[in-house]
Every structure is written in structure tokens, then in C-alpha cells.
């Protein structure tokens, strides 16, 4: 009764089920021949397993399986430690060799058939090219939140040499999943685990520590004890066999329900089996052992090549852990002045000493934990090349390529910032925008299309299929002491003629130098992103009438910092090309006067932006002029003057217009015998 109570208590943690049945269904849908072949081979699989059972002690060879872990992360807690992976491997090997401490709790009805599978798993020490390796790869990618087959395409080592294990923020909604061995889908062969179901430490715990053991069972052709479904505790399961003679027919335990005395189909259920959902698993049976060893002796999915002497030599699993590589990771490659960079050692093997050259004249040496994974703050802006040298009693090794850390100063952007993407002019030409493309087409310069000049920034979205994301991010803007910051820009977009799509353009700002981002404006394809008629081919705006603009006011004091950053993110949903141009960033005081941190405004010339356009009778004008005064005027379509205001000050002003009648208006700005005019359309 105590065990039942414990199971019910732990189930309150709402553990996740295995995702293998759903993953297998999707796999079979993609490869229709796979399911047919699996069914056709089942009788031969059972016969081979029975033959192995009859051999008894004659089948005692220990099979060694090389393993590689791919940790796919977004710099979150899913980027689990090496120690958590080592812990998971220890648990996996103890379970497969029947060395787990809880075997003493196996109920009497199954003690005699609890099996040592005679299979061991070892982290590879060489990669597919024969290079020294830790057996652990780490890749930063947002596909960690999906945990799907697309994520596996980021990196996949040959399945005839390695068992691929993926750790991610999500395992497609499950604790973990894999597929049965198949001649199809070689590039997706592997096990996916949600990070908090890996091992018993770190982000996981003992209760969730047997997920890898469970998924390895599937990877070696074991169904759940109630059969190949994700539906335990259903009456029809008593009529379904799992292909293993010594696992009794059962309904299957609900997720997290542990009752070792449960009887559901006329005999005692093997609730403590690793292929159950009880979360109190402690054993495989002799029959399951035979079925898994049958899979390892079959050419299906190349399982019989994994444990060959040649492959064990190629993957280095028996090699001594000699010091062979210095590697490290950082939590960020770009940081603002005064913020720390966290360095994490990933060297191997047997390191006892560390020497960090941070590139700024600082060298840190030692043998403590803080020396292994230090944090460093740079005192000056610039780019720094960081090297790591690791050592032990056998010698020392230095990292081959430097890690470049970019330290941004406060207020690197001019103020006001005027960006037209023209050649040799503006922050873009000075390298003050960076492009990060997660997938698909990047933000890039379009040489012959612009709103006010010849160039603009665009995404060749016509080449995307959907789901791709690209970002362009500015360096820092000094907004300290301002009442508000205004960000204006022009944009252009059209749908394809094949139908409306929901592509997304976002304006985002960061108050902490890019650590976190807040979306200030969200243009959607089904709402306000389109600015022109649908185009059958590539869309390139043919004139200013196929552009529109937006003016965003950021007035929360938490953003009035010396290292404000601006980012434009575009997410494709399969529409047409998108463009941005004429990005202006400027701060204003409480009276609306533009705050300037440059003495010579003359170099900025006349600049006039009007938003929104078209408007409903109210609009905001952002005006810059080179002298000490200017005049703002508004005329209707007949030329009649409807508004006039002298602008006196330090070269910039924001003016709000209201009550404009429907129709076309011309907004003019004149200063020192120079004039610029913008057309404004007012709709009702």
C-alpha cells in the first residue's frame, strides 16, 4: 500500500508520457513502406528472439554502443551540463546491466525474469571524421522549442556508427520519443529527450530519470508492455500482444500511476517494467532482452554495425581519456560595456588546470571551479580575442581558434539616428547593424529599390516557404535623460497572387543591451503589413505609393537608458518580399523638442516624416532642419494654407496635427531657402 501511495503522490507532478507512438505514426505516414515492412518482419523478429532465449548462457556477449549527445538550446536551462549527461549515461548503463540499486524492490512475481541485457552505452571519443571529441555537441537554435525532425537536421551523425541522442527544451510535447528501427528515415534516426527528463540531477530528478532507458527500449524495437499505442488503461489492450512472451497481457498503467500489485488482464501486470508508464520502472525481462539483442544482430537500421570492433575503434570508445582539446562556450558573443560575459569550459579529457587569455591584457590561471568557468567584465569597448589553455600532468593544449567578444559602448549610434541604407552613409555602412538569420533568406541590401534613395533593406521572402526568421539589430542608442524616444520607418510588402498569408514584421526594443526584447509594433500580413496589390512574381515597390510608414513612441522611463537597442524581426509565412527604409531614431524632451547629441545638425539636412499615412485626420510630423529655425506648413489639394508653425530650437521637433479634412494634403518644411514636402492622404 505504501508503494501505491508513493506513486499517486508523485503523479501529482504530472509527468509526461512517451511520444514514440505519435512519432511513429508520423514516420509511417511519411514512409508508407515502413509500417508494412515492420509488420512483415514481426514473425521473424519473434522467432529470432526465441532462438536467443533458448541459447541462454550462450548469448552473453556484451555489446558496446557508441553514443553522441546533441544539446540543442537557446541559451536557456535546456543547455544542460555535461555532469547531467554523464549522470544519464550512468543510469542508462546500470539499468541495461541490471546494476540499478532498486532491483531489490522488484516484486516477487518478476524477480526471476529480470534481465541483464548485456548492452553498454559509451560516449564517443571521436567524431565521424576521426577527430578527438567529447561525445557532446551543443548548438544554439530556436528549434529547441519544437524538438521535431526538423531540429534533428541541424546535426546528425551516421546511425551505423552512433546512437544519436537529442536534448531540447521540448520533445514535441512528450518526455521523449524515438522510432522503431527502420530502413527508412536514416537522417532522423535517434532519440529526443526533453531536458528535464535527462538523468537525475540538474534540471531533472530521480523520478524522471528512466526516460532514456525507456526510449532506448523503443530504439531497440521494444513496444510498450500493452502494445504499440499511446493509450494505456484501455480494455482492448488485453487483446494486444507486445511481441514478448514473458511480459503479461495488461491494460498498461496510466502515466505516473504505480501499483506493483495491479492485475488487469487476469495475471499480475509487470508494472515495474521500463516500457511501462508507471514511473516506478526497475527492470527489463529476459524476453525483452532477447528482442533487443535480436535488433542489434539485424541489419535493419544498421544496428548490427554499431558494436563491431571496427566501429568501436573508429568512434574511440575504448581510448584512454587523454588531454586532447581545449574548447569553451560563452553565454553571449556581444555585450554592452560593464556587463559580464560567462565563459564555460568544454575541454576534454582529464583537465586539471585552466589559463584564460581574455584579450584585454587580463590572464586568469588556476585549478579551481571558478578558474574553470569564470565570468569577466571588459573595461573598454572593442573586439577581443579570447583563448583558453588547459593542462594536466601530461601537458597543455590551447584552443585553436579565438572566441571573438564584441563589447559595445554606450550611445554608439548617432543621435538623432538617420538610416537610409545608402552606400557610404549612415550606421549600416559603418557596421552598426548586424543580421542574424535563424533560417531562410536574410535581411540584405536591395541596391535599386528605396523609398527616398536608391537602396533599402529587404528580405527576399519570395524564396521562403514559411516559418523562416531573420533579424537585423542595431548597436546602442543613448536615450538617457530623454522623455521619450521615437522610432520611425517606412516599409513595403505584398502578398503573392496565390493567396493571403500572415507574414509578420516586428519592431522590437531592448532596455538591457539585447538580453531581453519587447515588441513595440507588430505588422501582420492579414492586417496591416501589405502596402501594395498582390504580385505574382517578386515584389519590388515601384514608387512611394507602394510604401507606408510607422512612428513608434517609446515613453516608458525604463527604456531611457544609454544602451537602448532596436531590432526588426521578420517571420515568413510564405508571402512576398518585404522592405524597410528610412529608419529614424530620436529622443525628445518633455516639450517635444528633439534632443541632439551632435553639435553640427547641418550634415543631417532637411528631414520630414509624417505618420500614419494615410491617416484618419490626425498625424504626427517628425521634422529635422540644419539651421536654428524652420517653418512647418500644411496645404490642402487646392493649395490653400491650413496650418503654419515656426519651428525655433536646436534642429528638431515633433508636431501633432489634428482635425485634418479628408483628401490630399501637402506637408512642407522650409529652412534657409531649402524645402522638402511630403504628401499626406486623409481618409474618413
Could you give the residue numbers annotated as active site? 215
CA distance linking residue 27 with residue 81, whole number of Å = 31
Which of 586, 565, 560, 566 is closest to 650 using CA atoms?
586
Is beta strand 63-73 parallel, antiparallel or unpaired with respect to 119-123?
Answer: parallel
| Residue-wise burial string across 46-74, b where 16 or more C-beta atoms lie within 10 A, e elsewhere | bebbeebbeeeeeeeeebbbbbbbbbbbe
DSSP track, 279-321: S---B-BHHHHHHHHHHHTS-GGGHHHHTSHHHHHHHTTTS--
CA distance linking residue 516 with residue 509, whole number of Å = 9
Beta bridge partners of 174: 171
Question: At 572, is the secondary structure helix, strand, or coil?
Answer: coil
Is beta strand 353-357 parallel, antiparallel or unpaired with respect to 328-330?
Answer: unpaired
> Is residue 265 a contact partner of residue 255, using CB atoms and an 8 Å limit?
no
In this structure, how many other beta carbons lie within 10 angstroms of the beta carbon of residue 241? 12
Task: State residue 678 phi and psi, 5-degree precision.
Answer: -120, 140
Q: 553: phi > 0 → left, psi -120 to 50 → alpha, else beta; which?
A: beta
Is beta strand 382-392 parallel, antiparallel or unpaired with respect to 353-357?
Answer: antiparallel
In this structure, how many other beta carbons lie within 10 angstroms of the beta carbon of residue 505? 23
For 525-606, strand residue ranges (E) read 548-554, 565-571, 578-588, 594-595
Burial of 489 (0-12, 13-18, 19+ CB in 10 A): buried
Q: Whose grid coordinates read 541596391?
A: 447
Sign of CA dihedral 645, 678, 506, 500: positive
- Helices (H) and strands (E) counted in the chain, each on its own, are 10, 34
Question: C-alpha cell of 547?
Answer: 510604401
Q: How large is the angle between the packed helices 20-30 and 32-55, nearest 10 degrees?
A: 130
Which of 122, 110, 115, 119 is closest to 98 using CA atoms?
115
Q: How large is the angle between the packed helices 211-219 and 82-96, nearest 10 degrees?
A: 60
Residues 6 or more apart whose Cβ sits within 8 Å of residue 75: 140, 331, 332
Q: 127: phi > 0 → left, psi -120 to 50 → alpha, else beta; which?
A: beta
Question: C-alpha cell of 277?
Answer: 508508464
Q: Does an H or E element contain 480, and which?
A: none
Beta bridge partners of 127: none
Question: C-alpha cell of 658?
Answer: 489634428
Q: What is the dihedral of CA 296, 298, 300, 301, to 10 degrees?
A: 30
Question: At 8, is the secondary structure helix, strand, or coil?
Answer: helix
Amino acid at each position: 500500500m505504501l508503494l501505491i501511495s508513493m506513486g499517486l503522490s508523485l503523479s501529482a507532478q504530472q509527468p509526461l508520457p512517451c511520444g514514440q507512438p505519435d512519432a511513429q505514426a508520423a514516420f509511417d505516414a511519411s514512409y508508407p513502406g515502413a509500417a508494412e515492412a515492420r509488420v512483415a518482419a514481426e514473425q521473424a523478429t519473434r522467432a529470432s528472439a526465441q532462438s536467443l532465449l533458448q541459447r541462454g548462457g550462450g548469448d552473453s556477449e556484451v555489446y558496446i554502443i557508441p553514443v553522441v549527445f546533441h544539446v540543442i538550446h537557446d541559451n536557456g536551462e535546456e543547455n544542460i551540463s555535461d555532469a547531467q549527461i554523464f549522470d544519464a549515461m550512468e543510469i542508462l548503463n546500470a539499468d541495461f546491466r541490471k546494476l540499478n540499486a532498486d532491483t531489490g524492490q522488484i516484486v516477487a512475481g518478476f524477480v526471476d525474469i529480470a534481465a541483464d541485457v548485456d548492452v553498454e552505452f559509451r560516449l564517443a571519443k571521436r567524431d565521424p571524421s576521426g577527430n578527438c571529441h567529447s561525445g557532446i555537441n551543443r548548438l544554439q537554435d530556436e528549434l529547441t522549442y519544437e524538438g521535431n525532425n526538423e531540429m534533428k537536421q541541424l546535426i546528425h551523425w551516421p546511425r551505423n556508427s552512433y546512437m544519436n541522442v537529442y536534448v531540447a527544451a521540448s520533445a514535441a510535447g512528450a518526455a521523449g520519443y524515438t522510432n522503431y528501427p527502420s530502413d527508412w528515415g536514416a537522417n532522423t534516426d535517434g532519440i529526443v529527450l526533453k531536458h528535464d527528463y535527462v538523468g537525475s540531477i540538474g534540471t531533472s530528478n530521480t523520478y524522471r530519470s528512466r526516460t532514456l532507458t525507456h526510449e532506448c527500449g523503443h530504439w531497440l524495437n521494444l513496444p510498450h508492455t500493452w502494445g504499440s499505442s499511446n493509450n494505456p488503461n484501455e480494455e482492448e489492450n488485453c487483446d494486444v500482444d507486445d511481441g514478448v512472451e514473458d511480459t503479461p497481457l495488461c491494460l498498461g498503467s496510466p502515466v505516473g500511476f504505480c501499483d506493483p500489485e495491479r492485475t488487469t488482464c487476469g495475471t499480475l501486470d509487470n508494472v515495474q517494467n521500463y516500457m511501462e508508464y508507471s514511473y516506478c520502472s526497475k527492470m527489463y525481462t529476459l524476453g525483452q532482452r532477447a528482442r533487443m539483442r535480436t535488433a542489434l544482430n539485424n541489419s535493419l537500421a544498421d544496428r548490427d554495425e554499431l558494436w563491431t570492433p571496427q566501429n568501436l575503434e573508429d568512434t574511440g570508445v575504448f581510448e584512454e581519456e587523454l588531454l586532447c582539446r581545449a574548447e569553451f562556450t560563452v553565454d553571449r558573443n556581444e555585450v554592452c560595456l560593464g556587463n559580464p560575459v560567462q565563459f564555460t569550459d568544454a575541454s576534454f579529457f582529464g583537465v586539471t588546470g585552466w589559463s584564460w587569455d581574455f584579450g584585454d591584457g587580463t590572464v586568469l590561471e588556476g585549478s579551481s571551479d571558478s578558474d574553470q568557468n569564470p565570468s569577466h567584465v571588459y573595461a573598454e569597448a572593442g573586439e577581443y580575442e579570447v583563448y583558453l589553455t588547459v593542462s594536466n600532468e601530461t601537458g597543455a593544449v590551447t584552443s585553436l581558434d579565438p572566441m571573438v567578444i564584441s563589447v559595445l559602448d554606450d550611445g554608439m549610434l548617432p543621435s538623432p539616428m538617420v538610416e537610409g541604407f545608402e552606400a557610404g552613409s549612415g550606421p549600416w555602412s559603418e557596421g552598426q547593424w548586424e543580421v542574424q538569420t535563424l533560417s531562410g533568406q536574410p535581411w540584405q541590401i536591395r541596391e535599386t529599390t528605396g523609398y527616398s534613395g536608391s537602396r533599402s533593406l529587404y528580405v527576399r521572402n519570395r524564396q521562403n516557404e514559411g516559418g523562416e526568421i531573420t533579424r537585423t539589430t542595431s548597436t546602442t542608442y543613448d536615450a538617457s535623460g530623454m522623455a521619450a524616444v521615437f522610432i520611425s520607418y517606412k516599409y513595403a510588402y505584398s502578398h503573392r497572387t496565390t493567396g493571403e498569408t500572415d507574414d509578420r514584421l516586428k519592431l522590437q526594443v531592448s532596455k538591457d543591451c539585447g538580453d531581453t526584447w519587447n515588441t513595440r509594433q507588430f505588422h501582420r500580413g492579414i492586417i496591416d503589413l501589405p502596402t501594395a496589390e498582390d504580385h505574382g512574381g517578386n515584389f519590388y515597390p515601384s514608387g512611394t505609393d507602394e510604401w507606408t510608414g510607422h512612428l513608434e513612441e517609446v515613453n516608458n522611463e525604463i527604456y531611457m537608458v544609454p544602451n537602448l537597442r532596436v531590432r526588426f524581426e521578420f517571420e515568413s509565412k510564405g508571402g512576398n518580399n518585404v522592405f524597410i527604409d528610412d529608419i529614424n531614431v530620436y529622443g525628445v524632451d518633455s516639450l517635444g523638442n528633439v534632443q541632439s547629441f551632435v553639435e553640427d545638425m547641418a550634415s543631417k539636412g532637411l528631414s520630414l516624416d509624417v505618420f500614419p499615412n494615410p491617416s484618419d485626420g490626425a498625424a504626427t510630423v517628425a521634422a529635422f532642419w540644419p539651421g536654428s529655425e524652420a517653418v512647418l506648413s500644411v496645404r490642402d489639394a487646392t493649395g490653400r494654407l491650413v496650418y503654419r508653425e515656426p519651428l525655433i530650437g536646436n534642429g528638431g521637433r515633433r508636431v501633432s496635427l489634428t482635425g485634418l479634412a479628408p483628401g490630399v494634403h501637402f506637408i512642407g518644411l522650409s529652412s534657409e531657402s531649402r524645402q522638402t514636402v511630403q504628401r499626406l492622404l486623409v481618409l474618413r
